[in-house]
Amino acid sequence: MSPLKVWTNRLRGLLLQWLLLLSLLSATGSFRSKIFTKHVLRSNLSTSFYVLDDTPGLDRVFDGIGGVSGGGATSRLLVNYPEPYRSEILDYLFKPNFGASLHILKVEIGGDGQTTDGTEPSHMHYKGDENYFRGYEWWLMKEAKKRNPNIKLIGLPWSFPGWIGSGKSWPYDSPSITALYIVSWILGAKKYHNLDIDYIGIWNERSFDIQYIKILRKMLNQKDLDRVKIIASDNLWLPISISMLLDDELLDAVDVIGAHYPGTHTVQDALKTNKSLWSSEDYSTFNNEVGGGCWARILNQNFVNGHMTSTIAWNLVASYYPQLPFGRDGLMTAQEPWSSHYVVETPIWISAHTTQFAQPGWRYLKTVGHLQNGGSYVALTDGLGNLTIIIETMTHEHSKCIRPPLPFFLVSEQTTTFSLQGTFKELRMLQVWYSKLGKKPWNDTFLFKQLPPLKITNGTVTLQLGLDEVYTLTTITTGQKGSHPTPPESRPFPSNFEDNFNVGNPPFSEAPNFADQTGVFEYFTNDQDTSGHSFTLRQVLTQRPITWAMDADQTISIIGDHNWRDITITCDVYMETPVTGGIFIAGRVNKGGSFIRSAQGVFFWILANGTYEVTGDLERRRIIKGGKANVMAKKWYTLTLNITDSSAYGMLNNRVLWKTQLRPLPRNGWAAIGTRSFEFGQFDNFHIQA
C-alpha cells in the first residue's frame, strides 16, 4: 500500500471518529456518551487494518456455546429454589435474547459415583432396574427446551453403576452391555420426557475403547437413533485423533472430536480427520471479572488458534455448597435456595456477546485472527447477509483460566479499522454491544451495554480499543440485556432445620439440600410400615460404582453450613443389613467432593453387631470412643449428637450413651448422614439445631 493511501485511510478514520462523536453527543445521554468517548474515540494511536470478506468462501460451521450440568452434582441446589427465583435463574441461562442464551446443554448421565462435587443417580442402579425420573437432569433439560426449543442436548457418563463392570472398575469388559445402558438413557429421555438427545459421549476424561465406540454407533443405528452424533473422547486430542486416522470404521463412527481445556490450540492429527473440533469442556474458573476475561478470550481464540467451533463451560451454574471443590466455577451462582439469593455473574454477559448474535449453523469467516497489539476478533455470518463481529482485548493477568497455564503475552490500546468486503460491502450500519472488565474492586466494570449504532462509511468501521474490553458489532437487532427484579439478600443456611421426608409423590428423588458425596440417598416409601416411618430417606446403593473420582468406602450425604461449630443433630435411623451393617450421623464434616475419602469431623456410629463408635473421620481410622450399644438391624433408633466447643456427647433413644473430650478436630463443618458401606439404610425425622 502506498504512503499516500495509508495517510488517506488514516485521515478517513479520524474524520469518521469525529463524526461519530458529534452524532453520539447529540443523540445519547451522558452515560453512553462517557462510555463511548472514553473507550471508542481515543486519539494518537496508529491504525491497524483488517479485512472481513466472504469472497474467498466461508470457514467452519459454528456449532454453538454451552454449559455443563454435572461432573458432578453442580446443579444440585438449583432444583430446591422456590419460584419465581428458580425460573429467573433458568431465564438467565437459556432464554434467547435475554442472558447467556446458551445454544448447548451438556448433562451428566448419572452413574451413582462421586464426580467432583457429589454423586448423581443412575437410571439403572442395578441390573434390570430402570427409572427415568431419578435426579434433576431430566427436569433441567426440559426447562432448557421450554425456553429454547432449538437448544442442543448432550449426554456424557462420568461414572457407571457397579453392575456394568461385574465387580471391576471398568466399563468396557462387556461393551454391548455398556452401549445398551447408554442407549437406554437416550430412549428413556424420549419416551418419558419427550427429549431428543443430539450428542452422546464416551467416558469423561478417561480411556476410550475403540470396539465400544463402534458397538455404540451400531446400536444407535439399530434403535433408529442415526441422528444422535458421537463425541470422542472428552479428554485430549490424542490418541483419539490418531486412532481415527488409522481406522476408517472408527472415523465414520465419531462425528465430533471433543477435547478438554485445550488452551485454545489443537493438533494437526485432529485437523486431518476433517471432523468438527470442540472444546467440549473448558473454563472451570472462579466467576469474577478474571473468570469473565478467561471466558471472553477462549470463546474467540478457541476458533482463531484451534479451529474449534464449540466451547462448553464447566459448569453451567455454581449451585452446590461453596466449600466443595471449585466453588463458584459456574457461569452464574445459585447456591442458596433457602434464601433465594443468586448472582448473575460476569460470564453470563460475556456469553451473550456471542450467543445472542450468532446461532448454530452460521459460519465463521476465513478472515479472522489476532489483533496487532493483542487480542482477537472473529466474524460469523448466516449466509443471508447478516454479520456479527466479536472483538476481545483481554490482558494476561485478567484472563487466566484455571487450566492450562497461560503463556505471557502483551496487549495495548489500539486503533482498528475493519474493511467490510464481499457481500458485506453493502452494509450501512452495525449495532454495538460493549463490556469492560475492570480490576478490583471492579468499580469500573461495565457489562453488555448497548451503544449507539455505528454507521459504515466507505465500507469501513474504526474502533479504538482499550484493555480488557469486548465488543460485538452486528447486523442483528434483537439483542437484549434481560433482567428480573433484584433477588433476596444472601442469608446463611437456617440454624434450625428439620425434614421428616413425608413426601408421598416427590417432584425429585432427593430430599432438598442434602448433597450426596458417596452413595445415593432417595425418598422411600415403607408400604407395610406400622411404626410411624412410612416415608423415609434411604441409601440405595449396594455395590460400589465404577468410579470417576475417589469415592469413599462408606456412603455419606452432607447438609447445612460449613461454618457450623456447635451443633445438635437428631435423626431416626434404621440399619437393614444384619451383623455387618452400620449407620451414622455426623457434625463438623470438613471435606466433600473428590476429597470425601479423607473427610474428618465427629461421626457417631451404631453397628449391627451391637456396638457403637465415635470416630474423628469417615474412614473410621481415628476411633475416639466405642463400646456396647444393644442395637441390631431391622429396628428403628433415635440418635442424637451434640458438639459444643471441645466436647461432645451422644444419645441413643434419648439416653446418653457416651461423652468425650474431642481431640484436635475440624473446628467447623457440615452435618451429615450415611452408612458403614454400600448397603441399604434409612433415615427419618432429621433435625439440626446449630
- Bridge-partner residues for 150, per DSSP? none
- Which residues, at least 6 apart from 350, have a Cβ–Cβ distance to it below 8 Å? 292, 295, 296, 299, 435, 470
CB 118 within 8 A of CB 593: yes
DSSP, residue by residue, 369-398? EE-TTS-EEEEEE-SSS-EEEEEE---STT
Which grid coordinates belong to 191?
419416551
Phi, psi of 673 (to 5 degrees): -135, 160
CA–CA distance, 283 with 279 (Å, rounded to integer): 10
Residue 181's closest CA among 137, 133, 153, 215? Answer: 215
**281 has catalytic annotation:** yes
**296-329 burial: b if 16+ Cβ within 10 Å, else e:** bbbbbbbbbbbbbbbbbbbbbbbbbbebbebbbb
Counting Cβ atoms within 10 Å, is residue 405 exposed (0-12), middle (13-18) or buried (19+)?
exposed
Contact yes or no for 468/444 (Cβ under 8 A) = no
Indicate if the alpha-carbon torsion angle 296, 263, 388, 469 is positive or negative: positive
CB neighbour class for 587 (10 Å; exposed up to 12, middle 13-18, buried from 19): buried
Tell me, letter by letter, the H, E, C secondary structure of 290-345.
Answer: HHHHHHHHHHHHHHHCCCCCEEEEECCCECCCCCCCCCCCCCCEEEECCCCEEECC
Gap between the Cα atoms of 381 and 389, Å rounded = 9
Helix (H, G, I), strand (E, B) or coil at 625: strand
Dihedral Cα 10, 297, 364, 280, nearest 10 deg: 180
345 is catalytic: no
Catalytic residue among 205, 413, 576, 619: 205
Burial class (CB in 10 A: 0-12, 13-18, 19+), 182: buried
Q: Is 137 in contact with 110 (CB distance < 8 Å)?
A: yes
Q: Which of 137, 281, 336, 345 is catalytic?
A: 281
Active centre residues (catalytic) = 205, 281
